[in-house]
Structure 1
Amino acid sequence: MRRRSSRLLLGLSLAVALLLVGAFATGWYLLAGSRARLEGEVTLAGLAAPVRVIRDANGAVTLAARSRADITFALGFVHAQERFFEMDLMRRAAAGELAELVGPAALDSDLDLRRHRLRAVAQAAYAALAPAQRQVLERYRDGVNAGLADLRRKPWEYDLLASQPRPWRAEDSLLVVAAMYLDLNGHGHNTRELDIARMRAALPAPLVDFLLAPDPDWEAPLSGTLSHPPLLPGPAVLDLRGPPAAATSARSVAAALAPALQARAPGSNSFAVAGRLTDTGAAMLANDMHLGLRVPDIWFRARLRYPDAGAPGGTRDAVGVTLPGTPVLVAGSNGQIAWGFTNSYGDWLDWVRVTRDPAAPSRYAVPGGWATIERHAERIRVKGAPDRVLEVEDTRWGPILARDTDGAPLALAWIAHHPQAYNLGLMQLERAPSVSDALHLAPTLGLPPQNLLVADREGHIGWTIAGNAIPLRTPGTDPQQPVDGSQPGSGWHGWAAPARYPRLVDPVDGRLWTANNRTVDGPELELLGNGGHDLGARAQQIRDDLATYSVFSPGNLLDIQLDNRAVLLTPWQRLLQDVLAGTRDPALRQLRGLTANWRNRAAPDSVDYRLVRAFRDEVHRTVLAPFVARVQARFPAFAWPVGSDPEAAVWTLLRAQPAWLLDPTYKDWDALLLDAARAVATRLGGEPGGLAARRWGEVNRSGIRHPLSAALPAMLARFLDMPDQPLPGDANMPRVAAPGFGASERLVVSPGHEAQGILQMPSGQSDNPLSPYYGAGHADWVEGRPTPLLPGPAKWTLTLRPPQR
């Protein structure tokens, strides 16, 4: 009997082993079959002449062709072979078509985004493009579909999802641009202005102005004056010692304040120095775009070489990062100029109150009469479930998406709803010969409005806003408050002419910087608006870093990109030391001791940084809680307006210590501060190892994952994800880092001297785990090592040939 059981157990073990081997072999076969072709020759209809596709050891691609048209086709081919699934996700997410691919789990996202009808916008934008730009998209489309067809098997993600890839359409590239509008403009929700309206409905206006005021201590505009210090409201405005507000939970208040404490909004750093400050005489530019990070990275590094009479030596040699799904080199250098972007955070979305006709709800009031609401039945296909039909009500300003504080319907005016805001103008920067030419092109580019920074080989630097859709509003109106669409002068009335775009060329000190901060003031700021400018501490730190050098090398600019000094937190460290001076509480004495030796770094092993940061967050929550509670009592969905850092208001309160704006829970402001410190000591001290074990790297980890890994067992997910490592950096310093968020690239380049340039990227070029360069270069990004901008020696060469005639 025992022998029989042993044989049965052995048989079962062998069967399990065979199943595991079979599953492994099947997985390997599916993955291997969808790897990009790296070598040999491929004959492809659609090419006019051969194109060489050269890859180095890290998978950086050089495309060498006889025309930009053939480059466009070949770029589509390569993008599809390496990244088709991610391209598909971007177009589907923007169009609200994800549920068709992944099932009901994506239905809520589709219902949310389909309200914008961005596929219809992309179709209209494509139809309105100049014929030459439509031809570019069609050539790129043909290249994408050729690359997809050339794979031995469909991309492996579709096997996992039991789905089939859908061919690329020319309009889909504009949907990828729409996906960037969503990412850079708050996903089209405009919750910032909804929450500001809620604050103004629940709190006195002077108090709201005070709480949302910018902080002149941290601003670093390129031109104009600093903001005024916030004006402290007197007890006649609000006295918290009066009748208490309706009760709300501490948890809901903490959740409402999360946007004020978690700076994870898409952003970027970009800075440039004039040629007189470099040893080559050419200007130099640095750019790192902060986005959500994934496997693979959003960008695809490429070098494009083709004949061009306007280029040095007659050959255009452009290098940088492309955006799969589009034929565009987004940021990089063409040998004559280098360019990069940061999100401008201008005001590109507005709410408009819609007044329905009580006798005919399909009509709404407009100045001088009535208009009819357009209704669109949007059919959402759901894999494995019935279709859903979403009715979208559309007005002349945009779709009705929300309600005002009094319940009135609100329509969203958003530049991304306008077909004119999409084009391929960005491709012209690839051939621009100077800063002046690049700045002249900026107001014609169809993209989310960005700060454009340019440096050229003659030593010039310049800044302006890139984007062809800056809305004009009636002077004197508050664009952060919903306007009444029935009144004359409401809504937008055209677009800013290029002459009105602010620009700055060759500043006296030879330095420019942007980091999502306010860049201008006066009429220029009124034109651009405030869509949630960064506090400015990051921009100020970059500005001050630039001032420490008199001559710059690429390594100097990389050092600034990697600066993780905690300048913003230094006053908080001093405050914490003062608060805890003389305490006899053992836990608080330990907290004071661990933060006394201030290293001033957001380093992975920094205990002092994590504890001081936690103290700042706790003080913000405690100081602001009574105001948030009053708004939540009327509007339970309220959250602190995104992009409105309350640093100025909190410090003003801590310095002035007004009794009428102190939470009545505390006898005085010193008690509030001591309680905040005690909360930190209790919460973090209660974790394993106590306060002394609370290193910053414990919570600030890379967290860069593949889009499908969350649905897989942990063992398989680890195979797809990048190693989850502790990272230096944080918000409010140049080296921005948070789990799954941070610098999607770090570019440093001096045009004409690309061989000394730097380009770091996380998570590699390919989405196939069996690719020889899956994750290649990622370690350099983590460690801050300077990966060369130009591709290295050729390791694989693939030739794409047209059919013989």
Structure 2
Amino acid sequence: MRPAVRWSLRLAVALVVLAAATAVGAWLALRGSLPQLDGTAAAALAAPATVERDALGTVTITAGDRSDLAWAIGYVHAQERFFEMDLMRRSAAGELSELFGSVAVGADRNARVHRMRTRLAAALDALPAEQRTQLDRYRDGVNAGMDALSVRPFAYLLTRSVLEPWRSEDSLLVIAAMFFDLQDAANARELGFARLRAALPDSAYRFLTAAGGGWDAPLAGPPLRWPELPPAADLDLRSLAAGLLRPAGRTADETPGSNAFAVAGALTGGPALVANDMHLGLRVPNIWFRARFVYPNPRRAGAIVDVSGATLPGVPAIVAGSNGNVAWGFTNSYGDFADWVRVELDPSDPSRYRTAQGWASIEEAHETIRVKGGEAVALDIRGTAWGPLLGTDADGTPLALAWTAHRPGAIDARLLALDTAETVDDAVAIAQASGIPAQNFVAGDRAGNIAWTIAGRIPRRVGGYDPSLPAAWDTPGRGWDGWIDAADHPLIANPPWQRIWSANQRMVAQPMLDVLGDGGYDLGARALRIRDDLQARERFVPGDLLAVQLDDDAALIAQWKDLLARQLEQMKPDPLRDAMAAALRDWNGRAAADSVAYRLVRAWRDEVTDVLRQGFAAAVRTKFPDFELPRLAQFEHAAAALIVFRPAHLLPPGQTDWDALLDGAALRVAGRLAGQPGGIAARTWGERNTTRIRHPLSRALPELLGRWLDMPADALPGDAHVPRVQGRSFGASERFGVAPGVEQEGYFQMPGGQSGHPLSPFYGAGHADWVSGKPTPFLPGEPRHRLELRP
């Protein structure tokens, strides 16, 4: 053998050995950060505790008291989910750049202006002693759980980052992260409304921003009436230059949200039934962590608390679930919990602004964003008594943001008390007083009672201003006057119709609606279908609730299908027209994964409504050239009115007549679909609605490793306006249905799995059941692992 060949072989062997050694080293490093599942571990507890895990990794913690339980769930959360907890606290505090470098500076700027870490450190000091104890004990458990790992979690190996210990206020920051996720921290919708109001005649403004119409499905009260079309004397879109239109593109009006519903005991023959599927961005691992807490009841000597459901890693609470006496769940309320305040600066001294008490000095705060691998970024924040100066009104007036998340009392740990709620009345009182983002709270109890209310704090508005638009608060008696009293919270308990449904729609009529305001609640189509599903039955078992959650009946899109069919009949002969007509023949009325018709009609509806919206946006751009429409969740009603009445003066610029608008939208959609392999006939809804549920770090890894971290791509039924809400990376972050006291008959599904560790047996566990809709048990199964925590 020639020397060159021999050396080449030696080099190849060496490279293989090196690669193998690297792989083994990486595998050993990953193994070192796996949670401890069995055996014993030292713990700072008053009495021994146990941590059991079933086949899905669902955790059962049995502890001597609530304080020890907080320590134990902190220990478990840290070992399973510390990276995800870290991301949540950092996202709320504006500290992601410390992990990811300059790429996160923009996100940190947007969060840091709210100064949440400073605010919540002060809030922590003001908490009742019992809540503070729970957060401190949880903190200690988290840090003990991390210290017990021989290797830091793999995410920190990949990012070459050092772990920052958990602090008690970090749990409050996790709750603040949910404020950011569930509410509009930039209050962009109200800024958009201000520009709409400034640029359009009143009739057009009211037509676009009305609060509801025929799709309404409130829990109490009738549907609202959509306003009349603006007359030609007020607005003629045909006169506008076509250059004011933006290139075609979807302006999403769908409202991220959730479903929760309940039926009274009269319809079950026993306890009430409660179902909840909270719709959030989907990721790996899932945002929730399934757990069961068992400990002595501090309210009743000799009794045991036994509560199961979804925990949020970072917080020592069961967020949604059942405790044997009461079951509860949440949906986002989309009330109006932020206002822009017009700030008049002193012309002679712009460091002062006018208040009801006279001139006051602008507050100055300074924050520093630390950037991994880069220079720190200084951030100067100017503030007022009402909130930080973060916006500008349509006329250039500075705006201060008043947001509930900024106010003392908005964020706390009161929700932990749901563990021991014994009746719906108990649960309602706890929910109304809890410091969380204002949510629809749906509950049912063992005696068969059901109720809906708003959980979280609601500002008391005084002075009669319009909260949907910026307003001055510099006169006495105008603005926010603390929180409304619990007695003033909207509440519907044991309604005579014996059913409660909540799907982010408008829940109530006046005067309750004035208390909540309209923060962009959803079109009622999804809620309407849930209501009808519930009214179609007189007896219920848990499986009936799952059937409602998995319902993909597409009543909203069915109306567009009928319209498209009629439109195709009058179109000129064309191959694309014929292909569309053929595709409509497979219509089955559902957002089914194998339906070509649904995908075609949905795409046409989106195209038409986008064209209609852009016509009104063009009118606003005559005054504000860079204007983009805010989310108009009720625009479906406006589109229906335009298509039914077909007013010539409201045709968007460049459109000759209404048939041409509808035909053109159909041909554009058909052309895009036909241009793909297999043509229109191969374009199923499932192809468009294929899940992409990813780990936060998978995009930064080679494709093969990234796919290993992500969940499989599944073509799924469902859509935004059907009960089975489903998108590519958005949908039901859990589904459960349960009757308190008979939890063993309930079910619980969850995507993405329990563990955040890719070598864990629980990584992705249960995801396939969520995909298929299989009703896995609500309670944990037989324990497969047992860890003893010893003092």
Same fold (TM over 0.5): yes
Within the candidate set 596, 605, 627, 1:638 is matched to 627
The change in CA–CA distance for 1:488 and 1:42 in structure 2 (over 3 A counts) is: same
Q: Does 1:572 find its partner at 2:560? A: yes
Looking at structure 2, the residues matched to 65 and 742 of structure 1 have their Cα atoms a distance apart, in angstroms, of 34
The change in CA–CA distance for 1:77 and 1:643 in structure 2 (over 3 A counts) is: farther
Looking at structure 1, the residues matched to 783 and 633 of structure 2 have their Cα atoms a distance apart, in angstroms, of 49
The change in CA–CA distance for 1:204 and 1:7 in structure 2 (over 3 A counts) is: farther
Within the candidate set 246, 249, 260, 1:250 is matched to 246
Within the candidate set 598, 619, 629, 1:609 is matched to 598
Q: Residue 42 of structure 1 aligns with which residue?
A: 41
Q: CA deviation at 1:22?
A: 2.1
Q: Residue 259 of structure 1 aligns with which residue?
A: 252
Q: Residue 460 of structure 1 aligns with which residue?
A: 449
Q: Residue 22 of structure 2 aligns with which residue?
A: 23
Q: Residue 407 of structure 1 aligns with which residue?
A: 396
Structure 1 SS opposite 2:614? helix
Structure 1 SS opposite 2:283? coil
Structure 2 SS opposite 1:663? coil
In the TM superposition, what are the counterparts of 1:232-247 in structure 2 within 5 Å?
232-242=229-239, 244-245=240-241, 247=243
User: Which deviates the most, 566-575 or 629-638?
Assistant: 629-638
Q: CA deviation at 1:501?
A: 0.8
Structure 1 SS opposite 2:252? helix
Looking at structure 2, the residues matched to 163 and 364 of structure 1 have their Cα atoms a distance apart, in angstroms, of 44
TM value normalised by structure 1: 0.96
Q: Unmatched 5+ residue regions in structure 2?
A: none
Within the candidate set 212, 217, 221, 2:214 is matched to 217
User: Structure 1, residues 87-114: CA drift from partner, whole Å, max 9, x if none?
Assistant: 1111111000110111111111111110
Looking at structure 2, the residues matched to 560 and 431 of structure 1 have their Cα atoms a distance apart, in angstroms, of 29
Q: Residue 89 of structure 1 aligns with which residue?
A: 87
Q: Does 1:544 find its partner at 2:532? A: yes
Confirm or deny: 8 A CA contact 2:545 2:737 kept in the other structure. yes
Q: Does 1:388 find its partner at 2:387? A: no
Q: Does 1:200 find its partner at 2:190? A: no
Q: CA deviation at 1:277?
A: 0.9
- What amino acid does structure 2 have at the position aligned with 1:539? A
Looking at structure 1, the residues matched to 199 and 13 of structure 2 have their Cα atoms a distance apart, in angstroms, of 70
Confirm or deny: 8 A CA contact 1:282 1:751 kept in the other structure. yes
Confirm or deny: 8 A CA contact 2:39 2:786 kept in the other structure. yes
The change in CA–CA distance for 1:724 and 1:360 in structure 2 (over 3 A counts) is: same
Looking at structure 2, the residues matched to 536 and 641 of structure 1 have their Cα atoms a distance apart, in angstroms, of 19
Q: Does 1:706 find its partner at 2:699? A: no
Q: CA deviation at 1:795?
A: 0.5
Q: Does 1:733 find its partner at 2:722? A: yes
The change in CA–CA distance for 1:637 and 1:349 in structure 2 (over 3 A counts) is: farther
Looking at structure 2, the residues matched to 636 and 518 of structure 1 have their Cα atoms a distance apart, in angstroms, of 33
Q: Does 1:789 find its partner at 2:778? A: yes
In the TM superposition, what are the counterparts of 1:262-273 in structure 2 within 5 Å?
263=254, 265-273=255-263
Q: Does 1:648 find its partner at 2:637? A: yes
User: Structure 1, residues 664-719: CA drift from partner, whole Å, max 9, x if none?
Assistant: 53332112111111111112111222111111111212211111111111011011
Confirm or deny: 8 A CA contact 2:70 2:137 kept in the other structure. yes
Looking at structure 1, the residues matched to 653 and 58 of structure 2 have their Cα atoms a distance apart, in angstroms, of 61
Q: CA deviation at 1:637?
A: 4.1
Confirm or deny: 8 A CA contact 2:179 2:436 kept in the other structure. yes
Looking at structure 1, the residues matched to 173 and 543 of structure 2 have their Cα atoms a distance apart, in angstroms, of 37
Confirm or deny: 8 A CA contact 2:48 2:788 kept in the other structure. yes
Looking at structure 2, the residues matched to 670 and 214 of structure 1 have their Cα atoms a distance apart, in angstroms, of 29
The change in CA–CA distance for 1:690 and 1:123 in structure 2 (over 3 A counts) is: same
Q: Does 1:777 find its partner at 2:766? A: yes
User: Structure 1, residues 156-211: CA drift from partner, whole Å, max 9, x if none?
Assistant: 1111111111110011100001001100112x111100111111111112101112
Confirm or deny: 8 A CA contact 1:212 1:649 kept in the other structure. no
Structure 2 SS opposite 1:116? coil
Structure 1 SS opposite 2:706? helix
Q: CA deviation at 1:643?
A: 4.8
Q: Residue 548 of structure 2 aligns with which residue?
A: 560
Confirm or deny: 8 A CA contact 1:235 1:660 kept in the other structure. yes
Q: CA deviation at 1:25?
A: 1.1
Q: Residue 345 of structure 2 aligns with which residue?
A: 356
Within the candidate set 742, 760, 768, 2:749 is matched to 760
Q: Does 1:470 find its partner at 2:483? A: no
- What amino acid does structure 1 have at the position aligned with 2:105? L
The change in CA–CA distance for 1:636 and 1:7 in structure 2 (over 3 A counts) is: farther
Confirm or deny: 8 A CA contact 1:259 1:640 kept in the other structure. no
The change in CA–CA distance for 1:314 and 1:250 in structure 2 (over 3 A counts) is: same
- What amino acid does structure 2 have at the position aligned with 1:456? D
CA root-mean-square deviation: 1.6
- What amino acid does structure 2 have at the position aligned with 1:314? A
Confirm or deny: 8 A CA contact 2:463 2:479 kept in the other structure. no
Confirm or deny: 8 A CA contact 1:533 1:643 kept in the other structure. no
Q: Residue 99 of structure 2 aligns with which residue?
A: 101
Q: CA deviation at 1:11?
A: 3.3
Confirm or deny: 8 A CA contact 1:64 1:305 kept in the other structure. yes
Looking at structure 2, the residues matched to 647 and 7 of structure 1 have their Cα atoms a distance apart, in angstroms, of 74
User: Structure 1, residues 493-544: CA drift from partner, whole Å, max 9, x if none?
Assistant: 2221111111111111211000010001111101100000100101001000
Q: Residue 154 of structure 1 aligns with which residue?
A: 152
Within the candidate set 440, 464, 477, 2:429 is matched to 440
Looking at structure 2, the residues matched to 662 and 62 of structure 1 have their Cα atoms a distance apart, in angstroms, of 61
Q: Unmatched 5+ residue regions in structure 1?
A: none
Looking at structure 1, the residues matched to 299 and 539 of structure 2 have their Cα atoms a distance apart, in angstroms, of 30
- What amino acid does structure 2 have at the position aligned with 1:698? E
Q: Does 1:503 find its partner at 2:491? A: yes
Confirm or deny: 8 A CA contact 2:242 2:653 kept in the other structure. no
- What amino acid does structure 2 have at the position aligned with 1:730? D
Q: Residue 660 of structure 1 aligns with which residue?
A: 649
- What amino acid does structure 1 have at the position aligned with 2:81? R
The change in CA–CA distance for 1:277 and 1:313 in structure 2 (over 3 A counts) is: farther
Q: Residue 315 of structure 1 aligns with which residue?
A: 304
Confirm or deny: 8 A CA contact 1:355 1:485 kept in the other structure. no
Looking at structure 2, the residues matched to 312 and 693 of structure 1 have their Cα atoms a distance apart, in angstroms, of 65
Confirm or deny: 8 A CA contact 1:246 1:633 kept in the other structure. no
Q: Residue 343 of structure 1 aligns with which residue?
A: 332
- What amino acid does structure 2 have at the position aligned with 1:496? I
Confirm or deny: 8 A CA contact 2:207 2:226 kept in the other structure. no
The change in CA–CA distance for 1:748 and 1:637 in structure 2 (over 3 A counts) is: farther
User: Structure 1, residues 539-560: CA drift from partner, whole Å, max 9, x if none?
Assistant: 0010001111111111110010
Confirm or deny: 8 A CA contact 2:279 2:732 kept in the other structure. yes
Q: CA deviation at 1:459?
A: 0.7
Looking at structure 2, the residues matched to 789 and 308 of structure 1 have their Cα atoms a distance apart, in angstroms, of 22
Looking at structure 2, the residues matched to 60 and 68 of structure 1 have their Cα atoms a distance apart, in angstroms, of 19
Q: CA deviation at 1:735?
A: 0.6
Looking at structure 1, the residues matched to 75 and 513 of structure 2 have their Cα atoms a distance apart, in angstroms, of 43
- What amino acid does structure 2 have at the position aligned with 1:387? A
Q: CA deviation at 1:309?
A: 6.4
Confirm or deny: 8 A CA contact 1:764 1:776 kept in the other structure. yes
Confirm or deny: 8 A CA contact 1:215 1:647 kept in the other structure. no
Looking at structure 1, the residues matched to 602 and 5 of structure 2 have their Cα atoms a distance apart, in angstroms, of 60
Confirm or deny: 8 A CA contact 2:342 2:397 kept in the other structure. yes
Confirm or deny: 8 A CA contact 2:214 2:225 kept in the other structure. no
Q: Does 1:514 find its partner at 2:513? A: no
Within the candidate set 258, 265, 286, 1:275 is matched to 265
Q: CA deviation at 1:343?
A: 0.5
Identical columns (%): 52
- What amino acid does structure 2 have at the position aligned with 1:170? S
Structure 2 SS opposite 1:250? coil
